Amino acid sequence: MHIRILPGARSDVHNGIIENYVSLKDQLTFEGHEFKSDTDSEVLAHLFFQADKQNLSPENAMKSVLSQINGAFALAVLYAGKDEKLLVARQASPLAIGKSENMVCVASDALAMAHLTRNVFI
């Protein structure tokens, strides 16, 4: 699992493999993005940053990023601030969502949150 936090009110985490991250990274680098690592997670963060610059809503940003990536992954994006949202997506990879009275959590395995809640959606 790779967690990336960029300046602003958005954080993202993903587990899995973005198969086309090298070509996406090459394109983003050509467009002026600077990378600090060779991870597919950082490419995701830059794709979300690009969507943010286009003033896309969180839902449309997620759709835009998902339309560009290939692979097997689970992805969670937290938008903080006045319109706090947690968006999740998966493709050919497990994703579980847990909910209790005062929290929502996500994991790639339901057992990871068994001690937090019994309300788990797969």
pLDDT at 25: 97
Over 90: is that where the pLDDT of 4 sits?
no
pLDDT at 1: 46
Over 90: is that where the pLDDT of 11 sits?
no
Phi, psi of 72 (to 5 degrees): -120, 115
CA atoms within 13 A on the CB side of 78: 14
Place of tokens 């899995």: 16
Structural domains in the chain, sorted by start:
2-91 (3.60.20.10), 92-122 (no CATH)
Name the average pLDDT for the chain: 90
Q: pTM of this prediction? A: 0.86
**Local confidence band at 81 (pLDDT 50, 70, 90 cut-offs):** confident
Over 60: is that where the pLDDT of 28 sits?
yes
Strand order in the sheet with 85-91: 2-5, 10-18, 71-79, 85-91
